[in-house]
Amino acid sequence: MSDTDGPHLAALAALLADPTRSTMCLALLDGRAWTLSELARHARVSAPTASEHLNRLVEGGLFTEVRQGRHRYVRLAGSETAYLVETMAGHTVPERRPVRSLAQSARRRALARARTCYDHLAGALGVNVTRAMSERGLLGQETGFALTGAGLDWFADLGIDLPTGGRRPLARPCLDWTERRPHLAGVAGAALLSHALDAGWCVRIGGGRALRVTDRGARDLADLLGLGTSAGAETSAP
Amino acid sequence: MSDTDGPHLAALAALLADPTRSTMCLALLDGRAWTLSELARHARVSAPTASEHLNRLVEGGLFTEVRQGRHRYVRLAGSETAYLVETMAGHTVPERRPVRSLAQSARRRALARARTCYDHLAGALGVNVTRAMSERGLLGQETGFALTGAGLDWFADLGIDLPTGGRRPLARPCLDWTERRPHLAGVAGAALLSHALDAGWCVRIGGGRALRVTDRGARDLADLLGLGTSAGAETSAP
DNA sequence: GTGACGTTTCGGCGCACACCGAAGTGGGCG
DNA sequence: CGCCCACTTCGGTGTGCGCCGAAACGTCAC
């Protein structure tokens, strides 16, 4: 391989190499299914244009689609695809981009505080939770990135079932775009976000990826991980 | 972020979205510096064309260059860049590609047996070494991907120094293109390949990425990890 | 100096494709 | 049945860019 793989790699990259398509991919990082018209509006293109792009993304295996009545729902093909998009997004140079409006600034701060990254926690909240887990000996980051025995017990005590045996790693680092530090992804990361939503630790705000930590969530996270009440609000200043 | 990051992600992807450029990136996965004309010949384009592509790749931060006399040497910007290329390459669908010539078939088999992947071992050899380390309790893969205490001792006993403290993880999985299984990357992976070359366990064959396991290497790997003499030759058949 | 060679710049060609408006398809609903 | 709406197909336009040959530039060797 590899000698003849150039064109294949290029074909994959070309799917992400268009601003409209990459915007769509980032939008779908919220892990949910979007309709064509929602994506068209989000990416500011006409419906015909969006249709063409979705065809290519589905054809290329990055998206899967479900047709329901007159709607065309698409979502990321799976966690591996999300991982690919996350990895590439983590390598873009963060430039000083002028904030154009007050509303945009508020939205951006909300996303930086706490958000979902496909199926796990991200933003300051995700990074702080990951760091706290490390400090409490639940997660080992020194010699790689893996749950410890204590970490497995911690999930069990919370009543969170961690399905094993699949190809997906139990714990994996995911580079946070805003914090530039790793947060917990993989099976454990997905289970943790799922539990956080079920247990009412946080709720989605707006229709997007942003999360708000509830009072109950702040209390439980303080109890379980010693997180300060501003863990999902404070910036990453040292 | 993320809302306005579509164009940035697209710009990064566009660097890899051309067959000539992606071929160059894959070539540089051998971790060494290539001259412009070497890359032009490898990618089967003229020197002017290659020059343009290198400009864009350097400009985009994927390559770094060193000018020496009338030569222009380029290499991957770093291990993170190599990781990015590896990740994307690992997501290309492996298709049944007809083998066109006997020489190509032999080259492909050699690469599948043992090769370098930027700065660590890959191919059947890399995957088997990784699996053996797991079975011997040197590497934990159940709850993530991390060296164990025994693993740290194992490196120390070999006299391999593992520099810590940098941003690069000590152990990281890298999906093998040919084997479709993880092999050891990160600081430990790089140190292991470096030691393997220094200790004469394997040598580079041809000018490329392919490796040949020496008699001495086969003996030492059998002693240290219980690897069969064909560990770098056998296929991954279960 | 002169010649060879690696690299860059320039000009021009041709193709791929992102985009839209208009028209067509088909499901859902009154 | 007829209307609305989500989506797709079709034509046409513009442009970005990958490519090369020719020529210029720099370095090295003699």
Chain D bases near protein CB atoms (7 A cut-off) = 5-11, 17-23, 26-28
Q: Does residue B113 sit in the same domain as residue B84?
A: no
User: Residue A86: inside a domain, yes or no?
Assistant: no
B25–A92 C-beta distance less than 8 A: no
**B37-90 pLDDT, tens per residue?**
999 999 999 999 999 999 999 999 999 999 999 999 999 999 989 999 999 998
3-class SS at B154?
helix
Q: Are B47 and B89 in contact (CB under 8 A)?
A: no
Q: How many domains does chain B have?
A: 2
Q: Which residue of B has its CA nearest to A86?
A: B9
User: Residue A46: inside a domain, yes or no?
Assistant: yes
User: Residue A35: inside a domain, yes or no?
Assistant: yes
Q: Does residue B108 sit in the same domain as residue B149?
A: yes
Nucleotide at minimal C1' distance from the A44 CA = C19
> Sorting pLDDT into bands at 50, 70 and 90, what band is A194?
very high
> Sorting pLDDT into bands at 50, 70 and 90, what band is A116?
very high
Q: Which of B10, B93, B143 sits opposite A170 (nearest CB)?
A: B143
User: Residue A72: inside a domain, yes or no?
Assistant: yes
Tell me which of B65, B90, B115 is where a domain ends: B90
Residue B63 backbone dihedrals phi, psi, to 5 degrees: -115, 155
Q: How many residues does chain A have?
A: 238
Q: Are A80 and A64 in contact (CB under 8 A)?
A: no
**Is the model's pLDDT at A108 over the cut of 90?**
no
**A33-75 pLDDT, tens per residue?**
999 999 999 999 999 999 999 999 999 999 999 999 899 999 9
Token pair belonging to A229: 């009440």
Separation between Cα atoms, residue B181 and residue B173, nearest integer Å: 9
Separation between Cα atoms, residue B69 and residue B48, nearest integer Å: 18
Q: Does residue B72 sit in the same domain as residue B127?
A: no
Count Cβ atoms within 10 A of the Cβ of residue A79 and give its class: 0-12 exposed, 13-18 middle, 19 or more buried. Answer: buried
**Is the model's pLDDT at A96 over the cut of 70?**
no
User: Residue A238: inside a domain, yes or no?
Assistant: no
Tell me which of B90, B124, B141 is where a domain ends: B90
Helices B123-135 and B215-225 sit at what angle, rounded to 10 degrees? Answer: 20
At A129, which helix (H) or strand (E)? helix A123-135
Q: Does residue A66 sit in the same domain as residue A152?
A: no
**B126-151 pLDDT, tens per residue?**
999 999 999 999 999 989 999 999 99
Q: Which residue of B has its CA nearest to A142?
A: B170
Structural domain of residue A63, as residue ranges? Answer: 6-77
User: Residue A217: inside a domain, yes or no?
Assistant: yes
Q: Does residue B67 sit in the same domain as residue B107?
A: no
Average pLDDT over chain A, rounded to whole?
A: 88
- CATH (domain of B65): 1.10.10.10
Q: Does residue A115 sit in the same domain as residue A27?
A: no
Q: Which residue of B has its CA nearest to A85?
A: B9
Q: Which of B6, B92, B146 sits opposite A5 (nearest CB)?
A: B92
Nucleotide at minimal C1' distance from the A37 CA = D6
In Å, how far is B29's CA from the nearest CA of chain A? 10
- Quickly give A42 CA vs C25 C1' distance in Å: 25
